[in-house]
Structure 1
Amino acid sequence: MSKYIGEIMLFTTAIIWGSGFAFSAISLDYFTPYQILAIRFSVGVLILSIIFYNRLKHIKKSTIKRGFILGFLLYLAFLLQTVGLQYTTPSKNAFITAINVVIVPFIAFFMDKRKVDKFELSGAFLAIIGIGFLSLQLSVADINVGDLLTLGCAFGFAYQIYYTAKYVKDEDPILLTIVQMGAAALFAWLFVLAKGEVDFSLEWKGVLSTLYLGIFSTTLAYCFQTMAQKFTSETKTAIILSTEALWGMVFSVIILSEVLTGRMIIGAALILTAIILAETKPDFFKGKSLEDIKEIK
């Protein structure tokens, strides 16, 4: 039963994150990217600190150090994602972000010399082709800067996932999450003050959208992910969470009335196929060499 509870929590997380792309787009009409991140991370760390107050008494120096590293990576990824959303559509922003699950194995290869198998390599190439369908125009001069920023965000999230996997082995996941959120909030407020963006809108639509990001997309979603991974394998976790891109497109159509083009649909399908191929490694090809696969063809 706990296995299914974990999977339900992960699907809930993916749906919440998917909806977050549309609410981020709404929030950008009232706040700057720096203000949005400052609010959402502050809300996240405040709620988590209140709920898990007793655990804070047992926090370690290593947790604070590692949490700050994760917080910096998390803030950087969200900053690139949110700024990128100013120049691209929510659905493209969602799908390009999702390729972080394909990037992670390559980071592990360069950092830990872990082997990258043929499925991960094939998935990476498919993802690149998919991004081309989503983003590239007829000339280099027409490349959307928002898509490039979002691609940088995917790398940021990939590094955050990689280091989280390393650190969580020796740390309390909840405390690590709280420090991570706190560090991200600190970086966010430093940027807000440095840019002098201290005047915040009080328009209810913008406030509610940003609070949604803080309460649901940040606090609830990250808690669900942490708890769910106690019951679900890493591969299945990555597959389920990667569906946030699909939900991002769905909510963009429902909430923002975004019109999808044929290129976007093809690109989205290729990226989702890349993610699934890289993470599931179909049973039909397991244990077969490249020569065996050529013979099958």
Structure 2
Amino acid sequence: MNLPSRQELALMAVTLFWGGTFLIVHVTLRHCGPLFFVGLRFMTAGLIGCAVFHRALRRITLAEMGAGMAIGIAIWGCYTLQTYGLQTISSSRSAFLTALYVPIVPLVQWIVLRRPPRIMNWVGIGMAFCGLVLLAGTSATQGGFGRGEWATVLCAVSAAGEIILISRCAVLGDSRRITVVQLLVAGLLALLAMPVAGERLPAFSWIWVAGGVGLGVGSMLVQLAMNWAQKAVSPTRATIIYAGEPVWGGIAGRVAGDLLPATSILGACCIVAGVLASEIRVPARSQPGK
């Protein structure tokens, strides 16, 4: 059995970080709005990147600018929707709904890149859909599948787009320069959207300072690790590793006292099983006489 490579270990660390952020964001949003938090988080990450990689940024190319902007728009959509959803749903529920991005990736590739899903992709999509139905059924008994849940499902769609963009764009140039651009774009878009959405600046609180700045530092390291690691790790292998994210998120929520009903746990298990099943490759049948 081969040991994980450095790149695979880096992506495993990314999923552990992601899993813990659901609870942090859920708590921080009691003290500020979602767009402000996303803006603070990613502008902090981008500015740190500028300070650390200022020499490398002097050689930035148009291709790297374009790649960073495309990924940054996807990040902005993903994290804004996820943060909005965490205002009204638990961190555990958000973690499992966000995991839908893995079985969604083949559908996005089919629509955008004209690559039809494999049979196990369809199996994974079906299992993930069953899990979503179970989670929705639980919500129905608690007041319905509300805006928070739908925003998180749309977040999963945006996350699928981010994964595909990173796989296609990260090879277009230097990971450091692309990372800094995408972080600044995501943060700037969130701050510019505040007046449009009617969101005001929050009252000062050390909680949103610690949450936003702390996750900003982590986000810079995470995006840099993803852009670096996915040059050597295939999208298939990367998505299998990312399947650990909702598990860590569920554990963090459980430690904090977030108890899911039995149907929600079953739905969460279906989503994780669908994530794993969608990445199983069935060996092609050998032709007779070969």
Is this a same-fold pair by TM over 0.5? yes
Which aligned pairs between 1:266-285 and structure 2 lie closer than 5 A? 266-281=266-281, 285=282
Change (3 A) 1:65 1:103: same
Amino acid at match of 1:163: L
Equivalent position SS for 1:168: helix
1:197 Cα deviation after fit: 4.4
Whether 1:165 and 2:167 are equivalent positions in the alignment is yes
- TM superposition shift of 1:139: 7.8
* Alpha-carbon spacing, 1:61–1:228, altered in 2? closer, same or farther (3 Å): closer
The normalised TM-score by structure 1 is 0.88
Amino acid at match of 1:287: A
Deviation of the 1:280 alpha carbon: 2.8
Contact 1:34 1:79 in 2 (8 A): yes
The corresponding residue for 1:286 is 283
8 Å contact from structure 1 (residues 37, 188) kept in 2: yes
Report the AA paired with residue 271 of structure 1: I
Partner in structure 1 of residue 251 of structure 2: 250
Partner of 2:100: 99
Q: Is the 1:59–1:175 Cα contact (8 Å) retained in structure 2? A: yes
After superposing the two structures, state which structure 1 stretch, 30-39 or 169-178, moved more: 169-178
Change beyond 3 A, Cα 1:52–1:31: same
Cα distance in 1 for partners of 2:127, 2:232 equals: 30
Q: What residue in structure 1 maps to residue 136 of structure 2?
A: 135
Query: Partner of 1:83 in structure 2?
Result: 84
Please list the CA deviations of residues 82-112 of structure 1 after superposition, one character each: whole Å capped at 9, or x if unmatched: 1111121111111111111111111111222
Amino acid at match of 2:276: I
Which amino acid in the other structure matches residue 112 of structure 1? L
In 2, the alpha carbon distance for the partners of 1:204 and 1:222 equals 25
Deviations 1:167-190 (A, max 9, x none): 223232221121111111111111
- Corresponding position of 1:56: 57
Deviation at 1:222, TM superposition (A): 1.5
The offset of 1:154, in angstroms, is: 0.5
- Which amino acid counterpart does residue 95 of structure 2 have in structure 1? A
Distance in 2 between the 1:253 and 1:211 partners? 25
Give 1:270 shift: 0.6
The question of whether the paired residues in 1 share the 8 Å contact of 2:97 and 2:153 is answered with yes
Query: Per-residue deviation at 1:193?
Result: 4.0
1:237-262 per-position Cα deviation (integer Å, ceiling 9, x unaligned): 111112111111111122x3111211
Q: Cα RMSD between the aligned structures?
A: 2.2
**Whole-angstrom CA distance in 2 between matches of 1:205 and 1:26:** 9
Q: Which letter does structure 1 place at the counterpart of 2:262?
A: G
- Classify the secondary structure of the residue corresponding to 1:169: helix
Answer whether contact 1:136 1:144 (CA < 8 A) is retained.
Answer: no
Identity of aligned residues (%): 26
Shift of residue 276, structure 1, vs aligned partner: 0.6
Amino acid at match of 1:268: A
Take 1:149 and 1:22, find their aligned partners in 2: how far apart are those partners?
17
Instruction: Judge conservation of contact 1:38–1:192 (CA < 8 Å) in 2.
Output: no
Range that drifts further, 244-253 or 139-148: 139-148
Say if 1:192 and 1:162 are closer, same or farther in 2 by CA, change over 3 A: same
Q: Is contact 2:124–2:278 with CA below 8 Å preserved after alignment? A: yes
Moved more, 186-195 or 124-133: 186-195
TM-score, normalised on structure 2?
Answer: 0.90
Matching of residues 76-225 of structure 1 within 5 Å: 76-137=77-138, 138=140, 142-195=144-197, 197-216=199-218, 218-225=219-226
Letter in 2 for 1:278: S
* Unpaired stretches in structure 2, ≥5 consecutive residues: none
Structure 1 gaps, min length 5:
290-297
- Tell me by how many angstroms 1:149 deviates: 0.8
